[in-house]
Amino acid sequence: MALHALGNKLDLAGDSAEGVAHMERALKLNAQDPRNQIGLALFARALVNAGRHEEAVERARGAIARRPDYANAYYVLAIALGHLGRAAEARAALEACERVHPGFLGKRGRWNPYRDARSNERLNEGLRKAGLVEFAHVERGES
């Protein structure tokens, strides 16, 4: 758990390569942890930050397979899919996120977990590509 936390903090502080390496090692060492959906979703977010979108999709889906009601995994999945230009799948992930945790998208707002503004913009760009703006309008009944 400590190794994963270190990797997460390194990624958030701006060293995504080192953070990803630590998180990957932590998940291998603790593969049977029943709370791995959290670690997998955080790892997926770090992979998005590193520009490794296909791997991020795999990890987010792994988190969802472990716990299908974990909204954050769908959120990160939508970001990764958005970056890959897979808009229909990304939109489905946003819909699933809202289905398992109504109001999650509205509460999350503009997500800025990173110290670096460019990393935060990378996340938000994935959300825009996933159709989050359009999704929010549909949810409120706007056209």
Domain containing residue 28: 2-139
- Span 64-79, pLDDT tens digits: 999 999 999 999 999 9
Per-residue model confidence (pLDDT) at position 136: 47
**Cα–Cα distance list, 131 to 1, 10, 44, 103 (Å):** 34, 29, 19, 16
- Span 25-41, pLDDT tens digits: 999 998 888 778 999 99
Q: What is the CATH number of the domain that holds 11?
A: 1.25.40.10
State the average pLDDT over residues 8-28: 95
- Span 84-129, pLDDT tens digits: 999 999 999 999 999 999 999 988 877 899 999 999 999 999 999 9
> How many structural domains compose the chain?
1
pTM of the model: 0.89
